C-alpha cells in the first residue's frame, strides 16, 4: 500500500492510498470535479473533455468489469488523475482485456483510492469545483501545489487535445467535416454512419473547410473555457449560413459565441449520465449524459436562436436552433458514451439538414 493524501485549495484533507502510476515528483494536480455515472468509467477517463481535471467518481466501487480497447474515447487519457472510494481488486467481464489499474499505469495516470468520496462531493457541491493535489509529499506541500494550480479558467486546453493532422472515418456519400476540439470516438462512430467524415484540427480555417465541399460541419466536444478558443469562434462565425452545422458540448458553446453570445462557468459543472433535459417542442424529458463546466447564457442570444432543450435540475440552457439558418447544437452528449440513448435522434436531424441542403 502506498499511503497518500488529497488536499484541496481550501485546505480540505482526505487520506487514502495511491493507485495507477506513481505521480511525477510525488504529486498530481488539477481541477477536482465529480462524476455521478454508475458505469462507463473507462469512457469517462478517456474523454478528452477532462483535460486539466481530476475526476472523482461518486459511485463507490470502480473497476469491477475491467477495461478493453473498444471503449476508449481517445487514444489516451488527458485527465490529471482519478479519485475513487474503492478500486476493485479483481475485474470480471467477458469483454475485459485488462484491469483499470493496469490501464492507468499504462498511460501514466495517477489515482488515489480509499477517499471518502461522499464527503468530497459535498465539499465540491458547496464550494464549487476547485484545484486540488494528491500524492506522497506532505499535506502542506500538497496544498501549496493546489493553490498554484490554475484550473481550467482562461486556459486553451483544446490545443492540447486536438489532432495534429486531418484523418478520415467512414465511406458514405455525404461529406462531413468534423472539428476536433477533443472529439470522442463514440461520436465519430455515429457520424461515420451518416457519411465520410474528415476530422480536422481545431485551428482549421473556414476556407480550408469549404474547400472540402462538405455537406455538413460538426463542432465537437472538448475541454476548458470556450472564451479561450477565439480562433475557432471566428471560423464558426464564417461557416454558419454556408453549410449545415451541428455542435455538441463545447461545440454548442463555441457556436453560441460565434453568434455573439456569452458563456459562463457553472459552480461545479454537469458530469454524469442521468441529467433530465426537457425537449421544449414536445415536452418530452430525456435522460442525458453530460460533461461540461461552462454554460451558454440564452439571454445573450435573444432574437438569434430558439432554445430547444432545458436542464430540469438547474434550468440552464441545453440546446438551441439558430434562426434562419441550418444550424443547431446541444450542451449534452447524445452519443451517450457512456449514458442513456434517449437523444441519439439528433444525429438523424443532422442528416436531414444535410439532405435538405443538397
CATH number for the region 3-148 comes to 3.50.30.20
Q: What is the pLDDT of residue 151?
A: 86
pLDDT, one tens digit per residue, over 83-106 is: 999 999 999 999 999 999 999 999
Q: What is the pLDDT of residue 358?
A: 55
Q: Is the distance from CB of 29 to CB of 141 less than 8 angstroms? A: no
CATH number for the region 158-356 comes to 3.40.50.880
Is this prediction's pTM over 0.85?
Answer: yes
Instruction: Map out the domains of the chain as residue ranges.
Output: 3-148, 158-356
Q: What is the pLDDT of residue 153?
A: 87
Catalytic positions are 249, 333, 335
Which of the residues in the chain have pLDDT under 50?
Answer: none
Q: What is the pLDDT of residue 12?
A: 97
Amino acid at each position: 500500500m502506498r499511503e497518500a493524501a488529497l488536499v484541496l485549495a481550501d485546505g480540505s484533507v482526505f487520506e487514502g492510498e495511491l493507485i495507477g502510476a506513481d505521480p511525477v515528483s510525488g504529486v498530481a494536480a488539477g481541477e477536482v470535479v465529480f462524476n455521478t455515472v454508475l458505469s462507463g468509467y473507462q469512457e469517462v477517463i478517456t474523454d478528452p473533455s477532462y483535460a486539466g481535471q481530476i475526476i472523482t467518481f461518486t459511485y463507490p466501487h470502480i473497476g469491477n468489469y475491467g477495461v478493453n480497447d473498444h471503449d476508449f474515447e481517445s487514444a489516451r487519457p488527458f485527465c490529471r488523475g482519478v479519485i475513487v472510494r474503492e478500486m476493485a481488486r479483481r475485474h470480471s467481464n467477458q469483454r475485459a482485456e485488462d484491469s483499470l489499474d493496469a490501464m492507468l499505469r499504462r498511460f501514466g495516470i495517477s489515482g488515489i483510492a480509499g477517499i471518502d468520496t461522499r464527503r468530497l462531493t459535498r465539499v465540491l457541491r458547496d464550494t464549487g469545483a476547485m484545484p486540488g493535489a494528491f500524492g506522497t509529499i506532505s499535506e502542506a506541500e500538497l496544498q501549496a501545489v493546489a493553490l498554484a494550480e490554475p484550473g481550467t479558467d482562461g486556459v486553451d486546453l483544446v490545443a492540447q487535445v486536438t489532432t495534429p493532422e486531418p484523418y478520415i472515418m467512414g465511406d458514405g456519400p455525404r461529406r462531413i467535416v468534423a472539428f476536433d476540439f477533443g472529439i470522442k470516438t463514440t461520436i465519430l462512430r455515429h457520424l461515420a454512419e451518416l457519411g465520410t467524415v474528415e476530422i480536422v484540427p481545431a485551428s482549421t480555417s473556414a476556407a480550408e473547410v469549404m474547400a472540402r465541399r462538405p455537406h455538413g460541419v460538426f463542432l465537437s466536444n472538448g475541454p476548458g473555457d470556450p472564451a479561450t478558443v477565439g480562433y475557432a469562434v471566428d471560423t464558426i462565425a464564417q461557416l454558419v449560413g454556408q453549410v449545415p452545422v451541428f455542435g455538441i458540448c463545447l461545440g454548442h458553446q463555441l457556436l453560441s459565441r460565434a453568434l455573439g453570445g456569452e458563456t459562463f462557468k457553472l459552480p461545479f459543472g454537469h458530469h454524469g449520465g442521468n441529467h433530465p433535459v426537457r425537449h421544449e417542442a414536445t415536452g418530452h424529458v430525456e435522460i442525458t449524459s453530460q460533461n461540461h463546466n461552462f454554460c451558454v447564457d440564452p439571454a445573450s442570444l435573444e432574437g438569434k436562436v430558439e432554445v430547444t432543450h432545458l436542464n430540469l435540475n438547474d434550468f440552464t440552457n441545453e440546446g438551441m436552433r439558430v434562426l434562419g439558418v441550418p444550424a443547431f447544437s446541444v450542451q449534452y452528449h447524445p452519443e451517450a458514451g457512456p449514458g442513456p440513448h434517449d437523444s441519439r435522434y439528433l444525429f438523424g436531424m443532422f442528416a436531414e439538414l444535410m439532405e435538405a441542403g443538397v
